[in-house]
Amino acid sequence: MRLSNIYGNGMIIQRNAENIIEGYATAGNEVRLYFDTKIYEGLCDEDGKFTIFLEPMEAGGPHTINITDNSDRYTINDVYVGDVFLLAGQSNMELPVSRTRDLYQKEIENINYPLIRMFQMPKDFKFGEPDLRVKSGEWLPADKKNAPEFSALGFYFAQIKFDKDNIPVGLIHAAVGGTHIEAFMSEERLIKTGKKLRKIATEEGRELVCKCGINDTCKMCYGENIKRNKDDFFVRNTINTETERVAAWYKKTDEDDIGLKEKWYDHEWSDDEKMGGIEIKIPESWLYNVLKRRIGTVWVQRVVYVPSDFCERDVELRLGTIVDADVTYVNGVLVGKTEYFYPPRRYNLPGGILKHGKNIITVRVTINNNVGEFKEDMPYCIKADEEEIPLDGIWNARVAAVEEPLGEITFFTWHPTALYNRMIYPLRNISFKSVLFYQGESNTKYPEDYEYLMIDMVKDWRDLFGYDVPFIFARLPYFRGESWEIPGDEWEDLRDAQARAAEKIEYAAIAELYDLGVYNEIHTQNKKEVAKRFYEEYIKLMKSIERGR
């Protein structure tokens, strides 16, 4: 007997709604489903498929589901009835609880909500025919072990809700960083939407120009993009070729890096060594110093004096955010590394690494495409409880390897239909209380189309689910952009498009997040505040729906 992994131990199903259990057993066999002691019956068709409809139930649990077809048995334990939410979008929905610990550290350490559970959909792409079932994943409770990897927005929303009504909350997470809204749409719908967008552009006198980059898509190219990506050889060859290119770039960079050869990380640089480098200010974008166009590796070092009470306990090294990647050493000991520029650098220093008096912090910075940077208005310090030793100021810097840019990499999960086929279509039989959707950042290159894409995506999903599932959208917060690529009016234009679309979509609301934005950080940590805005809109929308408005 084969069922989607979504039907697994610990699952939460939607209260006061019809729930569907679907799977495959022996063709022609009768199937019985026991929900505790209540019996439901179904029949396998010629392909072995069966579908059983569960009657609406009140919140509660735990329950046990047993499914038999005379030759096989499938058991689902610890089932609860509650409210189920689909979390979708890009990185600000995906951002895990662990990335919010600058603000909520003590709370994260003590999370224990066994009746808040999350199912992670496969973070992969699919072109052509959509998946019929979810082939991997499990329901996990929000406890100290699992909650740090939950969607932060999803968890804090569920926490607020559970604290108010004590009803179990199921979160199904279907978000992937960087993705365009087109990745969440079906082929049939997107092709029609593309035609509509081209017609509107012509009527409004706008030039029909392709705005695609390697990972972007636009109304001019949906059909071509979808057709090309259905060629499995093309996709696999692209992945293999780019994987080899990336590996070769990093291999060459390592081989060229004189700092690795001479072990610049294991000692304080002498005056003679410093003469081979420069002094730079941290934090600062390298747009403003002699390293502006540097691609390759640059090592930076700082001497810091530490009191004895910092040395025998665990402390945290905070190095803001570094563009693009870093490997960080303290007194010659590797303490952490991050391979791309978005995550905040927070490296734990166990007792014994720091020494009373002089300590040496050395960071190898790899710049592969962008302008190097230690982002401003971020924490740069050694932190022990409420005490801090500041690390901003002048650091020594030495260029170790000079390379050509790595170049762009294709992310197929961002392409049209990629996530609809793998993440959304397999959920067609799941009942949801609402969809929480935080997306738009990746569509800011062509905001004029977003209103129609947003409206049509909702139609697409509602047609798939078979009912008017409510939507709560994020309206993008303020963001100035990366220092080397300041956005223009497109960001505000997209916010306006989101607001217009939300006004036109029935059973939908939009959470205004503008004032929660940070000018130089696209992934703000204040996800509890974002969750409060989502929850407020959710409550208003539910009341409105109940009143028939």
Reported as a single tens digit per residue, the pLDDT across 260-269 is: 999 999 999 9
Mean pLDDT for all residues in the chain: 95
Tell me: pLDDT of 305 over 90: yes
Domain boundary among 376, 402, 428: 402
Residue 144 included in any domain: yes
Same domain, 387 and 417: no
Does residue 312 or residue 136 have the better pLDDT?
A: 136
Q: Are 330 and 351 in contact (CB under 8 A)?
A: no
Residue 132 included in any domain: yes
Tell me: pLDDT of 485 over 90: no
Assign 483 a pLDDT band (cuts: 50, 70, 90).
confident
Query: 119-124 long-range contacts, Cβ below 8 Å, gap at least 24?
Result: 119/6, 119/8, 119/11, 119/170, 119/171, 119/172, 119/173, 120/173, 121/172, 121/173, 121/174, 121/422, 121/423, 121/426, 121/427, 122/422, 122/423, 123/176, 123/413, 124/413, 124/422
Average pLDDT over residues 320-335: 97
Res 487: pLDDT? 61
Res 498: pLDDT? 98
Res 486: pLDDT? 66
pTM exceeding the 0.75 threshold for the entire prediction: yes
Residue 79 included in any domain: yes
Same domain, 25 and 124: yes
Closest-CA residue to 453 (of 253, 185, 236, 232): 185
Query: Which secondary-structure segment (H or E) carries 472?
Result: strand 471-475
Closest-CA residue to 358 (of 389, 321, 313): 389
Q: Tell me the pLDDT tens digit for each residue of 391-434.
A: 999 999 999 999 999 999 999 999 999 999 999 999 999 999 99
Same domain, 6 and 143: yes
DSSP state of 399: E
Average pLDDT over residues 251-275: 97
**Can you give the residue range of the structural domain that contains 378?**
257-402
Tell me: pLDDT of 212 over 90: no
Q: Residues near 288 by Cβ (< 8 Å), separated by ≥ 6?
A: none
Cβ neighbours of 266 (radius 10 Å): 12
Average pLDDT over residues 228-255: 98
Res 480: pLDDT? 86
Residue 133 included in any domain: yes
Token reading at 203 = 């009527």
Same domain, 178 and 42: yes
Question: Which CATH number does the domain housing residue 526 bear?
Answer: 3.40.50.1110
Residue 246 included in any domain: no
DSSP state of 519: T
Domain boundary among 381, 402, 423: 402
Same domain, 420 and 396: no
Closest-CA residue to 7 (of 113, 170, 142, 139): 139
Tell me: pLDDT of 477 over 90: yes
Same domain, 396 and 311: yes
Average pLDDT over residues 513-535: 96
Assign 489 a pLDDT band (cuts: 50, 70, 90).
confident
Same domain, 264 and 392: yes
Same domain, 51 and 170: yes
Average pLDDT over residues 202-214: 89
Distance separating alpha carbons of residues 312 and 314, to the nearest angstrom = 7
How many structural domains is the chain composed of?
2
Same domain, 496 and 389: no
Question: Which CATH number does the domain housing residue 340 bear?
Answer: 2.60.120.260
Res 549: pLDDT? 60
Phi-psi region for residue 20, left (φ > 0), alpha (ψ -120 to 50) or beta?
A: beta
Res 288: pLDDT? 85
Does residue 543 or residue 484 have the better pLDDT?
A: 543
Q: Are 300 and 233 in contact (CB under 8 A)?
A: no
Residue 162 included in any domain: yes
Which residues pair with residue 19 across a beta bridge? 54
Res 548: pLDDT? 81
Tell me: pLDDT of 41 over 80: yes
Domain boundary among 370, 402, 434: 402
Same domain, 387 and 434: no
Assign 201 a pLDDT band (cuts: 50, 70, 90).
very high
Same domain, 83 and 169: yes
Residue 43 included in any domain: yes
Residue 241 included in any domain: no
Tell me: pLDDT of 472 over 90: yes
Average pLDDT over residues 178-188: 97
Res 213: pLDDT? 84
Same domain, 392 and 463: no
